[in-house]
Chains A and B, each alone.
Chain A
Amino acid sequence: MTGQQEVEDLLREFAPQVLAALIRRYGQFDACEDAVQEALLAATRQWPGEGIPERPRSWLLAVASRALVDAWRADSARRRRETAAALDPTDRAPAAGLAAHLIADLAGGDGDDTLALLFLCCHPALSPPSQLALTLRAVGGLTTAQIAAAFLVPEATIAKRIVRAKQRIRDAGARFELPGQPQRTERLGVVLHVLYLIFNEGYTTSSGPVLQRADLIAEAIRLTRLLHRLLPGEAEAAGLLALMLLTDARRAARTDADGRIVSLADQRRDLWDTAAIAEGQAILTQTLGSGPVGPYQLQAAIAALHDEATSAAATDWPQILALYDVLTAIAPGPVVTLSRAVALAHVHGPRAGLALLGTLDTDGRLAHTHRLEAVRAHLLEQAGDTTAARDSYLRAAKMTASLPEQRYLELRAVRLHQPRPAQQPDQASHRTP
């Protein structure tokens, strides 16, 4: 018997290489991707019981090639029935022969193939949900079922999303190649965004009983690490990797034993992953100043300042505010303003933060979301206005569609119901009802 994890690690590593080899020879991304998925499923079924074959990559190639030939045969048989045309005998070439050619191709394959695949799956013509699903399947080597489990949707939904995504890629005339400049920078931006979305999908909902969400975080970090290795000179790819590591380092402390959200200020810092923090810091130190500074590097630098503080009180808020000022200058947006208001409140007092939040009330992008209301509630509480803070918490609780967030906000609202010092959650247990 072979470990399930060992099998999955191998499959995820080889999936894009095998797919790239098939595409380079046959040029049909759509059919090749289906064939590789079939090979992955076959390996998932067979390897854990029968053991990993001696040359796993060749095994995958052979099975994928056979699947491809079978699909073509089925296809041409259907066409033959439809058109009564004669079948060209050359497409009966045995799959084993095909695989032999491909193995030669594989030897010459390099990281550029994986990169080209990543660019193709993150094609701008696709909707973000399609980009995410296709990237995880074609580059990440996940099965449709695994992706469905991670996104908490039925398998058929993901399967349809992937079919539609590949159709759009075909319609857009996208090619399996690295885009040249100047498109490349823009396209890299989309790739980074897709990887960040995968990370956030896992991170923002990883609380509670839904454990498989952690897989999305691990997969996002693995793919970003791969991208950083292939493009070491791209400062923003490095910045994104650092941001993920420095953020995910706090995961164990983000929820308590009951799955409830713990705010950053109240987190047990001894639960933070020091190895991940050190790695994130090292990447960031190497990167900052090596190229143009971008939003991911800045957000990583902010995350690093939080991670470096030995207590919430020791947080270097002036430095964080300065970084948000730069972020506002190069990549302004309502979410940045929201975070900047928090930093501003810590440096210049809650009223200054609330005044900045006020500017967002007329911003249609954020005006009616629970996030704005939740930050306002926190700042009102800091300002000592418990009545307004309670109303704001409750409003935010009613607006959110996230159950853990709703419970967190409701609890904060109720805590303010009877007047008492707000910053000491411990007091609750000493109170006599």
Chain B
Amino acid sequence: MKYMIMMFGGLGAATQNRSPEWIAGMHQLLMKLDAELKESGECVASDALADPSQAKTVRFVDSAPVPTDGPFAEVKESLAGYWVVEVDEERALQIASRVVGYTEYPMEVRRIMEHSAQP
């Protein structure tokens, strides 16, 4: 089974009132976890997205697609990065919990659909 574990938010807002030690600790946790998941073979893919302030949203306006500056969702709800892991649900939740335990900020765990018919 594959799950996508998603982080949300943009730079600045979530970290504004945090100490440099706290931020450094978060960076360290994310790098360590990423390395662990790759080392164990559980990680299928992982990426961080550039800040939502750099995003463009294409909307359908006056019967034509029009790109505009800015993210689709609010910055704090904007996707910031993800892991795709091949594990059972319990393990996926455990991975997300390690990050949330530090950041105190919610993460979403979603099952990825199979391309084949399920037995």
- Hey, which bits of chain A sit against chain B, CB under 8 A? 208-209, 258-260, 394, 397-401, 403, 406-407, 410-411, 414-415, 417-418, 428-429, 431, 433
Q: How many residues of B contact A (CB 8 A)?
A: 22
Contact of A428 (CB < 8 Å), options: B20, B34, B48: B20
A400 to B54, CA, bound (A): 9
- Hey, which bits of chain B sit against chain A, CB under 8 A? 10-12, 15-16, 18-21, 23-24, 27-28, 31, 34-35, 38, 48, 50-51, 53-54
Q: Say yes or no: A394 contacts B11, CB within 8 Å.
A: yes
How many residue pairs link A and B with beta carbons under 8 A? The number is 53
Measured CB to CB, the closest approach of chain A to B53, in angstroms, equals: 5
Q: Say yes or no: A433 contacts B19, CB within 8 Å.
A: yes
Smallest CB gap from B23: residue in A: A414
Q: Say yes or no: B53 contacts A398, CB within 8 Å.
A: yes
Smallest CB gap from B16: residue in A: A417
Q: Say yes or no: B31 contacts A398, CB within 8 Å.
A: no
Contact of B50 (CB < 8 Å), options: A259, A394, A401, A417: A401
Main SS class of interface, A: helix
Find chain A residues with CB under 8 A from B34 CB. Answer: 209
A170 to B38, CA, bound (A): 42
Contact of B19 (CB < 8 Å), options: A208, A400, A410, A414: A414
Q: Say yes or no: A410 contacts B11, CB within 8 Å.
A: yes
Q: Say yes or no: B54 contacts A398, CB within 8 Å.
A: yes
Smallest CB gap from A395: residue in B: B53
> With contacts A407-B27, A414-B15 known, is A209 near B35, CB below 8 A?
yes
Q: Say yes or no: A258 contacts B23, CB within 8 Å.
A: no
Closest 10 A-B residue pairs measured CB to CB? A398-B51, A415-B20, A414-B20, A407-B27, A398-B53, A401-B50, A414-B23, A403-B48, A398-B11, A397-B11
Find chain B residues with CB under 8 A from A418 CB. Answer: 19
Find chain B residues with CB under 8 A from A411 CB. Answer: 20, 23-24, 27
Measured CB to CB, the closest approach of chain B to A19, in angstroms, equals: 36
Contact of A410 (CB < 8 Å), options: B15, B35, B48: B15
Q: Say yes or no: A259 contacts B12, CB within 8 Å.
A: no
A401 to B23, CA, bound (A): 19
Q: Say yes or no: B28 contacts A410, CB within 8 Å.
A: no
Find chain B residues with CB under 8 A from A400 CB. Answer: 50
A431 to B12, CA, bound (A): 22
Q: Say yes or no: A394 contacts B12, CB within 8 Å.
A: yes
Q: Say yes or no: A398 contacts B12, CB within 8 Å.
A: yes
> With contacts A398-B54, A401-B50 known, is A208 near B21, CB below 8 A?
no
Find chain A residues with CB under 8 A from B11 CB. Answer: 394, 397-398, 406, 410
Find chain A residues with CB under 8 A from B21 CB. Answer: 428-429, 431, 433
Measured CB to CB, the closest approach of chain B to A93, in angstroms, equals: 48
A208 to B18, CA, bound (A): 24
Measured CB to CB, the closest approach of chain B to A151, in angstroms, equals: 16
